[in-house]
Amino acid sequence: MAEQAATDLRVIDAETSGLRSIASDFSSDRQAFRNVSWGKAMMWIFLLSDTFVFSCFLISYMTARMSTTVPWPNTSEVFALTIGGTSLPLILIAIMTFVLISSSGTMAMAVNFGYRRDRKRTAILMLATALLGATFVGMQAFEWTKLIHEGVRPWTNPWGAAQFGSSFFMITGFHGTHVTFGVIFLLVIARKVWRGDFDHERRGFFTSRKGRYESVEIMGLYWHFVDLVWVFIFAFFYLW
């Protein structure tokens, strides 16, 4: 018994020593943590928390849709547009999705030219991204106006389950708010890039160290996240 206990203690000591070694390796890697700026780290933390919020919204929507006993509206009919006497299902949503995905491409190019210190092209591409984002918000406003005119409310809708209206306005409204704030910050940072604030280290809001376009990259992280969330909304809300 004594020998078995001694063996067990040696095994526990070895495991504890191994865990301490792993913890020591991680904690001693100071260079990896120092290379991540506060701005970029805080943006990742914000995006992680926002992921949980959007996930809760989509899970709540799926739960409401699967649990309701009232028929759920056919999204192909609800979101159809009549053009030239022909009803086109989801045509507006398809255009909105194309516009937002395209803005992700212009944002990626803006970050790339920011790395190259190409001030003019970076600013132009950020303005193009903001224009595409504003176009998306405008089309979403048109979509809201159309459904409200047809009788959709957060508490009811003329096509079936009352939860449809609340789910639609909550999810698309929350996402549209993100896009709107993104457009505003894109314009702010694009103006600073165009003026050369990041080249001359001019003091002010969002100004980083000289020669560093980190704010453009951080804005890119946010914008790509907004685009990715819309892909899930498009799949779960409009296509399902």
3-state secondary structure of 229: helix
Task: Give the DSSP letter of residue 158.
Answer: T
Q: What is the pLDDT of residue 31?
A: 44
Cα distance from N-terminal residue to C-terminal residue, the chain: 64
pLDDT in tens, 75-100: 988 999 988 888 899 999 999 999 99
Q: What pLDDT is stored for residue 13 in this prediction? A: 57
What is the SS3 assignment for 240? coil
pLDDT at residue number 176: 97
pLDDT tens across 130-175, in order? 999 999 999 999 999 999 999 999 988 888 898 999 999 999 999 9
What is the C-alpha to C-alpha distance for residues 111 and 221, in angstroms, rounded to an integer?
10
Sorted by where each begins, the domain ranges of the chain are 1-35, 37-238
- To the question of pTM greater than 0.75 for the whole model, the response is yes
pLDDT range class, residue 51, cuts 50, 70, 90: very high
Residue 58 contacts residue 171 (beta carbons within 8 Å): yes
Tell me: pLDDT of 225 over 90: yes
Could you name the CATH architecture of 37-238?
A: Up-down Bundle (1.20)
pLDDT of residue 32: 45
